[in-house]
């Protein structure tokens, strides 16, 4: 057998270098700064704009490379090596690296990145040891020559110097910022902050990993556990330049949450239970405390002091919310007595604090007003600090903190890539068989009920644990999943660790009965945390009815057992108890409510966000007649309370998922109420449905289920506003419907989905179809569109360099272009490079000095809604122009001159134009759009009415 360490490296440089060069496009002169950063996808010839090396050519190149090695393997094994290497090299175009970063990595790390990008261990799992060694050696050698090739490219040296200058500038800026924020601290403050930072970093440096239950250590290092999710601002309706564009909305840019937080001093972050809000708070606290790697989007954390303020702890027993001097005491920090007098005040007064206020939803509803007052007073006294507040989506109204200059962001659900990363990390941390991770991912991707559950880190962890514990078998539905999780945590965990008999011997049913009593107390009192004394009082009342448990010890011993052994209760501070996650509290509390037959109490609170999951789980626990009572109560309350009607009727419909047996008449009644809300009948209703959250996706009909096909666009918009893999299934059902309005909606929400998946499943099916405008918000989407083959009707939102626009759209026969909020666009010469362009919309591009580059172009539609134009004479040369929108004021004389030349048929009139009589002089005008505050003489009004003008 050949030594694996030498297989695959015996390839002469003279043989491999020419082959490697074929992988890459030829460079141009200079430092290539116009395409910064220069990603791999722009360098490799089979991915970039010069498609000189396609998949077939790459296939032949790799075969030639393998052929030139010393042959120690059978032909079929060499073919398998070539297949794996081909897949790996093709991944060059998918790496999120530029050439400078690649060289910094070194060839071995680059090879490792490529290997993981292409599939990792799955890629070589069927190769023999020698074949795998050959693959590894060839990949290392190829990457060495790839980096050598990069260093020889003309732009590389220039760009390396630029990169070094940029890094030096960044270092200088960071140093200046540190000096500014830390230079004037008293020595005792500096010493204490070091102790405080070390303590905070250690305290929050690990998470509980649910389901890794067969070892003593259930803690997961934060560095390994933290998963960067995406966040986005609330969707906003954009300018609609014409009546036939109604509903053309601009979805927010979903971006990594750390990046979304940068640039905002105050953020209210919404996210559903288990979505990772508290984990993000921990990560920000640890990252800030360590003060390492604070570059780029994290530079705003340099020199700051984090204060983690969980509201469930601060408001325990109605306690007075703390002043800065009491922050550490309120959260039970052991360093409370060591802080220098006035330290917290000095930190906040200097604007150096990072306030992490976690869990508005965990404050009782009646106390949220007090909480808001405390927060606004705190920020009024110390206005220059960073502040992050977290909450469940519906716990507080929109703009709850709007008057305090808070930016509202929403934490997105896990993408397909997030799920894959999480599942891999979980199995690695649990020392589980990687094959189990692969099998689970396949199941999540192919089974609808499972993928609908795997939307946040908590549920993903439970699914991983159950899948591993049951050797690949998973229960269906949320209730069955929770039941199995409780069994795993309450009984099987100790039994399989040979701990039965250690301490009290409580079976699963007994523990469940005790825990649900505590959970229900918390729910009834609107809390997520309780005093130990309150917990003991509840157990004291319950134990006489449970003699088996009572014989084993008093209430305090039983409570200690639940805290130390159940895995569901924890003690965040001395004398305080909480469930490890709100999801378990709601599930157990719902079971208790049903057993107590507290249906009226459930219905009275059904409109509150804190009770939503409790109601759903109560329906799951209830018997058929009890379900009917709950669901009838929800519909009746919705009928009589218009302010809560939408929420209550949709909640009833969502509860049907858990009603396996139900009176058909009650089911029909619930479906009839929801049918009035779903499908939405206009864009306002679509947005209102999207605000309810992912539960709506389960209720949205497909095109074949619509009684009125005209409602299809509203269904698609509602799903698009929610986004994520579950919403993608709804979008796919509509992708082949022959409707311009539906195609318009399908083309807009790309950024709320995984770029490649949505590109493949939706965007590729829209290309070059009539009425399909494809909206692009990121360079990755623009590159993906180019890779798919382009489109002739594109909307670009955000900053895109003109050369990137031309590189990705120039060869695809662009006919319509809409550019929104692009601060980089300061010249319209780019437009002249698109000879087929007929429709142009420019919104928020305020740095354009002149319209003169548009002279003589064959444009037929031009929308300039907010450009402050003083000279529109260039438009007189647009002899093909039929539609024009100018909603910013222009001089009356300019309109008069335009009316003599332009053959317009449709005109949208600028706001605050002093005299509109010139509008009557347009000879071919058929439609005229007017602002409602436009003023003109009665006789002109009559003339305009005859002309067909309409108010807007």
Give the angle 350-356-361 at the CA atoms, nearest 5°: 140
Could you give phi then psi for residue 236, rounded to 5 degrees?
-125, 145
The number of angstroms, rounded, from the C-alpha of 230 to the middle of its chain's C-alpha atoms is: 3
**Is the predicted pLDDT of residue 16 greater than 80, yes or no?**
no
The residue with tokens 């360098």 is 43
User: What does the pLDDT average to over 335-339?
Assistant: 91
Cis amide bond preceding 264, omega within 30: no
Q: What is the pLDDT of residues 367-416, one digit of tens each?
A: 888 899 999 999 999 998 999 999 876 667 777 887 888 888 888 777 77
Answer yes or no: are the C-beta atoms of 490 and 567 closer than 8 Å.
yes
User: What does the pLDDT average to over 332-348?
Assistant: 92
The residue with tokens 């825990």 is 515
Contacts of 783 (CB under 8 A, 6+ apart): 39, 41, 42, 808
What six digits make up the tokens of 855? 């002279």
Other beta carbons within 10 angstroms of residue 104's beta carbon come to 14
Architecture of domain 254-411: 3-Layer(aba) Sandwich (3.40)
| Alpha carbons 612 and 832: distance in angstroms, whole number | 55
State the pLDDT at residue 153. Answer: 62
The number of angstroms, rounded, from the C-alpha of 803 to the middle of its chain's C-alpha atoms is: 29
255's enclosing H/E stretch is strand 255-256
Give me the helices (H) in 489-609, please: 493-496, 508-524, 532-542, 547-550, 555-565, 582-595, 599-604
DSSP structural state of residue 491? I
| CB crowding 112-143: b at 16 or more within 10 Å, else e | bbbbebbeeeebbeebeebbbbbbbbbbbbbb
Q: Are strands 230-233 and 407-411 parallel, antiparallel or unpaired?
A: antiparallel
Q: Check residues 345 and 443 and name the one with the higher pLDDT.
A: 345
Minimum mean pLDDT range among 123-127, 200-204, 772-776: 123-127
Q: What is the pLDDT of residues 312-322, one digit of tens each?
A: 888 876 778 99
Q: What is the pLDDT of residues 551-574, one digit of tens each?
A: 888 998 898 888 866 767 877 777
State the pLDDT at residue 454. Answer: 76
| Alpha carbons 465 and 432: distance in angstroms, whole number | 10
Q: Check residues 395 and 204 and name the one with the higher pLDDT.
A: 204
Answer yes or no: are the C-beta atoms of 25 and 44 closer than 8 Å.
yes
| Alpha carbons 391 and 368: distance in angstroms, whole number | 11
E-strand ranges in 104-212 read: 206-208
Answer yes or no: are the C-beta atoms of 411 and 283 closer than 8 Å.
no
User: What does the pLDDT average to over 6-15?
Assistant: 43
Rank 86-90, 169-173, 569-573, 927-931 by mean pLDDT and report only the highest.
86-90
739's enclosing H/E stretch is none
E-strand ranges in 98-253 read: 206-208, 219-221, 230-233
Percent of the chain with pLDDT over 90: 24
Question: Which one, of 795, 844, 796, lies nearest residue 821 by Cα?
Answer: 844
Other beta carbons within 10 angstroms of residue 726's beta carbon come to 19
Name the band, by pLDDT with cuts 50, 70 and 90, for residue 759: very high
What six digits make up the tokens of 475? 């229960």
State the pLDDT at residue 782. Answer: 93
Answer yes or no: are the C-beta atoms of 721 and 752 closer than 8 Å.
yes
Percent of the chain with pLDDT over 70: 73
| Alpha carbons 289 and 195: distance in angstroms, whole number | 10
Q: Check residues 304 and 72 and name the one with the higher pLDDT.
A: 304
State the pLDDT at residue 394. Answer: 61
Q: What is the mean pLDDT of the chain?
A: 77
Q: Which fold has domain 508-580?
A: Arc Repressor Mutant, subunit A (1.10.10)
Could you give phi then psi for residue 597, rounded to 5 degrees?
55, 40
State in Å, rounded, how far the first CA of the chain is from the last one: 82
Cα 224 to Cα 205, 206, 256, 470, 882: the distances in Å are 10, 9, 17, 25, 59
Name the band, by pLDDT with cuts 50, 70 and 90, for residue 273: low
| Alpha carbons 488 and 464: distance in angstroms, whole number | 12
| Alpha carbons 347 and 304: distance in angstroms, whole number | 9
| Alpha carbons 653 and 679: distance in angstroms, whole number | 13
User: What does the pLDDT average to over 750-777?
Assistant: 90
Answer yes or no: are the C-beta atoms of 314 and 360 closer than 8 Å.
no
Minimum mean pLDDT range among 118-122, 726-730, 733-737, 783-787: 118-122
What six digits make up the tokens of 656? 């049907």
Minimum mean pLDDT range among 158-172, 268-282, 481-495, 688-702: 158-172
Rank 9-13, 32-36, 488-492 by mean pLDDT and report only the highest.
488-492
Burial bucket for residue 952 (CB in 10 Å: 0-12, 13-18, 19+): middle
**Is the predicted pLDDT of residue 463 greater than 60, yes or no?**
yes
Largest CA distance in the chain: 100
Other beta carbons within 10 angstroms of residue 756's beta carbon come to 17
Question: Which one, of 627, 634, 683, lies nearest residue 658 by Cα?
Answer: 627
Could you give phi then psi for residue 138, rounded to 5 degrees?
-65, -40
Answer yes or no: are the C-beta atoms of 254 and 232 closer than 8 Å.
yes
Q: What is the pLDDT of residues 840-890, one digit of tens each?
A: 998 877 667 778 888 888 999 988 876 666 667 777 788 888 888 875 556
Question: Which one, of 622, 575, 633, 567, lies nearest residue 600 by Cα?
Answer: 633
Could you give phi then psi for residue 898, rounded to 5 degrees?
-65, -40
């Amino acid at each position: 057998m050949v030594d694996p360490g030498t297989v695959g490296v015996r390839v002469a440089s003279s043989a491999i270098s020419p082959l490697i060069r074929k992988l890459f496009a030829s460079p141009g002169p200079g430092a290539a700064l116009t395409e910064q950063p220069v990603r791999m996808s722009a360098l490799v010839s089979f991915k970039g704009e010069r498609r000189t090396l396609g998949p077939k050519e790459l296939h032949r190149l790799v075969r030639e490379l393998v052929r030139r090695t010393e042959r120690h393997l059978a032909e079929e094994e060499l073919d398998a090596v070539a297949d794996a290497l081909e897949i790996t090299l093709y991944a060059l175009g998918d790496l999120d690296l530029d050439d400078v970063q690649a060289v910094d990595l070194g060839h071995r790390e680059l090879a490792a990145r490529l290997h993981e990008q292409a599939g990792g261990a799955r890629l070589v799992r069927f190769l023999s040891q020698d074949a795998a060694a050959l693959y590894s050696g060839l990949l290392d050698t190829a990457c060495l020559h790839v980096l050598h090739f990069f260093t020889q490219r003309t732009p590389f040296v220039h760009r390396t110097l630029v990169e070094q200058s940029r890094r030096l500038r960044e270092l200088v800026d960071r140093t200046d910022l540190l000096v500014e924020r830390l230079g004037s601290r008293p020595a005792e403050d500096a010493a204490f902050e070091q102790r405080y930072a070390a303590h905070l970093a250690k305290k929050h440096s690990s998470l509980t990993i649910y389901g890794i239950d067969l070892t003593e250590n259930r803690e997961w290092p934060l560095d390994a556990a933290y998963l960067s999710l995406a966040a986005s601002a609330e969707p906003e309706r954009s300018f609609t330049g014409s009546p036939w564009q109604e509903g053309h909305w601009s979805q927010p840019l979903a971006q990594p949450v750390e990046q979304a937080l940068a640039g905002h001093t105050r953020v209210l972050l919404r996210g559903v239970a288990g979505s990772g809000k508290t984990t993000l708070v921990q990560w920000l606290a640890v990252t800030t405390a360590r003060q390492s790697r604070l570059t780029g989007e994290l530079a705003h954390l340099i020199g700051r002091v984090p204060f983690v303020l969980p509201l469930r702890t601060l408001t325990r027993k109605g306690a007075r919310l703390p002043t800065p001097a009491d922050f550490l005491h309120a959260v039970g920090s052991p360093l409370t007595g060591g802080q220098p007098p006035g330290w917290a005040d000095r930190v906040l007064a200097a604007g150096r604090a990072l306030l992490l206020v976690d869990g508005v939803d965990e404050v009782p509803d009646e106390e949220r007003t007090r909480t808001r007052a405390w927060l606004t007073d705190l920020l009024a006294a110390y206005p220059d600090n960073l502040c992050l507040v977290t909450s469940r989506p519906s716990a507080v109204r929109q703009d709850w903190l709007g008057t305090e200059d808070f930016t509202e962001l929403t934490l997105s659900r896990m993408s397909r890539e997030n799920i894959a990363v999480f599942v891999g990390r979980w199995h690695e941390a649990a020392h589980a068989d990687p094959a189990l991770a692969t099998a689970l991912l396949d199941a999540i991707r192919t089974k609808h009920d499972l993928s609908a559950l795997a939307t946040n880190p908590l549920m993903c962890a439970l699914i991983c644990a159950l899948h591993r514990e049951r050797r690949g078998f998973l229960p269906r539905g949320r209730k069955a999943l929770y039941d199995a999780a409780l069994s795993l945590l309450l009984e099987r965990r100790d039994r399989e660790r040979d701990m039965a008999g250690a301490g009290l011997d409580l079976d699963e049913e007994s523990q469940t009965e005790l825990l649900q009593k505590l959970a229900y107390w918390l729910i009834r009192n609107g809390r997520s945390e309780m005093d130990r004394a309150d917990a003991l009082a509840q157990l004291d009342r319950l134990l006489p009815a449970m003699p088996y448990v009572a014989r084993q010890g008093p209430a305090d011993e039983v409570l200690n057992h639940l805290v130390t052994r159940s895995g569901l209760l924890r003690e965040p501070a001395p004398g305080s108890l909480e469930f490890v996650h709100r999801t378990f509290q709601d599930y157990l509390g719902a079971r208790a409510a049903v057993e107590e037959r507290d249906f009226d109490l459930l219905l009275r609170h059904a409109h509150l966000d804190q009770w939503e999951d409790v109601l759903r789980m109560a329906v799951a626990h209830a018997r058929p007649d009890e379900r009917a009572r709950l669901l009838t109560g929800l519909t009746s309350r919705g009928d009589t309370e218009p302010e809560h009607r939408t929420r209550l009727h949709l909640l009833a419909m969502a509860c049907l998922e858990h009603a396996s047996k139900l009176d058909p008449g009650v089911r029909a009644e619930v479906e009839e109420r929801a049918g009035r809300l779903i499908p939405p009948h206009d864009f306002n209703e679509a947005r209102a449905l999207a605000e309810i959250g992912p539960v709506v996706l389960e209720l949205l009909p497909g095109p074949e289920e619509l009684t009125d096909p005209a409602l299809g666009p509203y269904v698609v918009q509602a799903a698009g506003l929610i986004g994520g893999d579950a919403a993608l299934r709804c979008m796919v059902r509509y992708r082949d419907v022959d409707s311009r309005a539906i195609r318009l909606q399908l083309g807009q929400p790309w950024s709320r989905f995984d770029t490649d998946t949505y590109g493949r499943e939706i965007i590729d099916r829209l290309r070059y179809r009539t009425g399909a405008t494809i909206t692009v918000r990121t360079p990755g989407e623009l590159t993906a569109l180019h890779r798919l083959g382009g489109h002739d009707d594109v909307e670009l939102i955000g900053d895109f360099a003109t050369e990137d626009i031309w590189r990705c759209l120039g060869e695809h026969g662009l006919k319509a272009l809409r550019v929104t909020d692009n601060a980089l666009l300061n010249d319209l010469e780019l437009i002249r490079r698109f000879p087929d362009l007929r429709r142009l919309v420019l919104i928020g591009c305020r740095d354009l000095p002149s319209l003169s580059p548009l002279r003589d172009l064959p444009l037929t539609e031009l929308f300039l809604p907010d450009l402050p134009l003083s000279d529109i004479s260039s438009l007189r040369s647009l002899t093909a122009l039929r539609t024009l929108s100018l909603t910013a004021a222009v001089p009356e004389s300019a309109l008069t001159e335009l009316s003599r030349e332009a053959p317009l048929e449709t005109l949208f009139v600028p706001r605050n134009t002093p005299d509109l009589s010139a509008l009557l002089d347009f000879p071919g005008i058929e439609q005229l759009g007017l602002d409602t505050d436009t003023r003109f003489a009665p006789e002109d009004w009559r003339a305009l009415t005859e002309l067909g003008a309409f108010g807007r």
